[in-house]
Amino acid sequence: MKVTVFTSNQPRHLSLINRLAELSETTYAILECTTVFPGYVQDFFKKSETFKEYFSNVISAEEKYFGSSTFTAKNVRSLAIKLGDLNLLKPKHIAPALESDIYVVFGSSFIKGWLIDFLTENHAVNIHMGLSPYYRGSSCNFWAIFDGKPEYVGSTIHFLSRGLDSGPIIYHAVPKLDNENPFEFTMRSVVVAQETLTEKIVNSELFNSAPIPQSKDLEIRYSKNYEFTDEIAAEFLSRKMDNTKLKSLLSIAKRPELLNPVFR
């Protein structure tokens, strides 16, 4: 089996590549690269003292579950490109990666043109970090916590579509809160998403259930990148949200209606 994944270059993305490599003959990875030190280096997120403090927590949580940046497995063929270049690629640039059995998208930029046509026709699966259709867009699990709705932290595994996070849902994956702070809780939702996806590929269960179209009427927030500002990050940090507060919110929350949910 051959797998192609469109993803990024943070430890959590490399983790997915290596998980897929364990179950495939060859894994093709197209990585859209950004700094691995957000907040410290001017890049997708700006360099600032507030972002430095915020992302130091993100990096710490990511290292807890995924370790630091590392090399990919021997059977991975990778192509590193700059964030923003994906839709400039032509078929000849990634020709071998267009002959796989399974296509996975996780943390890529918005895919357009011939590539989205190809991926939708070949039933590509997207890992959306957020419970769609309730939370769509960027940084959804952050916004769920920010909104005081930790019951909406999780991931949606759905078929890729031409709209953002709008394809038919295959299942939802949701972390159970243990002794984690908000950064760890949202990061562990990535672990649950990756574990369940690879398990369903191995067990040939991924495409067994009928996907369900998403209802825009259920949408709570459609977040945009520009909305995550210094001011928002500073406000979130000032709340000093901890495990006790998360538990308290979850204890009184009503779980949203989910599709084929996996809790772990």
Q: What is the predicted pLDDT for the residue at 241?
A: 95
Q: How confident is the model at residue 166 (pLDDT cuts 50, 70, 90)?
A: confident
The pTM score is 0.95
| Preceding omega of 91 cis (within 30 degrees of 0) | no
- 134, 219 Cβ separation under 8 angstroms: yes
Closest to 197 measured CA to CA, from 256, 124, 108: 124
Instruction: Compute the average pLDDT of residues 131-148.
Output: 97
Give the separation between CA 10 and CA 110, rounded to whole angstroms: 18
Point out the least confidently predicted range of 75-89, 96-110, 163-177. Answer: 163-177
C-alpha distances in Å from residue 67, one per residue of 8, 11, 17, 124: 16, 7, 14, 27
- 184, 178 Cβ separation under 8 angstroms: no
C-alpha distances in Å from residue 187, one per residue of 34, 58, 87, 114: 18, 8, 28, 32
- Judged by DSSP in three states, 126 sits in strand
- pLDDT tens profile 192-246: 999 999 999 999 999 988 899 999 899 999 999 999 999 999 999 999 999 999 9
